[in-house]
Amino acid sequence: MSFELSVNLEYMFHEAGDRLEDRMAAAAAAGFKKVEIFTTANRDVPSLKAALGDTGCELFATVTDPRIQLVMADQHDRFREMFAQAAAEAAELGAGRIVVPSGSAVPYMKRPVQLDIVAKAIASVVPVAEAHGLTIMLEPVNTRVDHPGVLFGMTEDAVDVIERINSPRVRLLYDLYHSITEREDPNEIMPKVAQHMEHIQIADAPGRGEPGSGQIDWPAMLQLIKSVGYQGALGLECSPTGPDTPKALSYIRGLCA
């Protein structure tokens, strides 16, 4: 099964140092040409752009500020300002996708109401995404281990908002690790949401280590991904269990070659 791999520089190639530019160079030297990062806020965007040019890497996706609580309408103006800057910086770096996290839920408001408020906030920045040629990706993340209290805890939460907005600019980032950690069954989930999937990220579970370090049957999982018609890159968003990132990723690279 042939899948191109994209590596998240926030989690991997730490052996190259703290600078994303140095990690990018290490990833390129290891043969990876697609990279992902978190937010560009407070980062040297010209330096990152130069590193992308020097290494020949493509920035696959960035992330907007995850601390904004989109269920709070009084934060929507700040969200729009932040998104405008993040989108401009993503486009400057050549990224085609930008992740918008939901932020935390609140205990005093019914979930459909919260999802409706979030949908309105994200719909309001779709014209900005269109202007920069960006696809907005909504990512459900697990509440059991990594992100307690987040609104998009289940895949259905993000899909609900995607369907409310009903724009080709707003699609799903399906993270296999988060889905399994939230006790979803990918065999049931992926066929249902395949039409919405813009990107798939992977890590093993439990532990969020590299594929092969946990309990996921990766040959079977890759076959499932292929069977639902997904042909995009697989984003590696994992924490290597050893100090050598290329060595840690050799198993999944072999399967995807």
For residue 66, what pLDDT is reported? 87
Distance from C-alpha of 201 to C-alpha of 246, rounded to nearest angstrom: 18
Distance from C-alpha of 40 to C-alpha of 70, rounded to nearest angstrom: 19
- CATH number of the structural domain spanning residue 135: 3.20.20.150
User: Which structural domain, as residue segments, surrounds residue 132?
Assistant: 5-256
> How many other C-beta atoms are found inside a 10 Å radius of the C-beta of residue 2?
9
For residue 177, what pLDDT is reported? 98
Distance from C-alpha of 70 to C-alpha of 244, rounded to nearest angstrom: 38
Residue-by-residue pLDDT tens, the chain, 257 positions: 699 999 999 999 999 999 999 999 999 999 999 999 999 999 999 999 999 999 999 999 999 998 899 999 999 999 999 999 999 999 999 999 999 999 999 999 999 999 999 999 999 999 999 999 999 999 999 999 999 999 999 999 999 999 999 999 999 999 999 999 999 999 999 999 999 999 999 999 999 999 999 999 999 999 999 999 999 999 999 999 999 999 999 999 999 99
pTM above 0.95, yes or no: yes
Token pair of 242, please? 């050893």
Token pair of 125, please? 């920045």
Distance from C-alpha of 12 to C-alpha of 243, rounded to nearest angstrom: 9
For residue 147, what pLDDT is reported? 95
For the four alpha carbons of 12, 13, 15 and 18, in that order, the dihedral sign comes to: negative
Instruction: Provide φ and ψ at 82, rounded to 5°.
Output: -65, -40
Cis link prior to 148 (omega < 30° from 0)? no
What total number of domains does the chain contain? 1
pLDDT in tens, 101-137: 999 999 999 999 999 999 999 999 999 999 999 999 9
Q: H helices within 93-145, ranges in order?
A: 111-123, 126-132
Distance from C-alpha of 217 to C-alpha of 255, rounded to nearest angstrom: 12
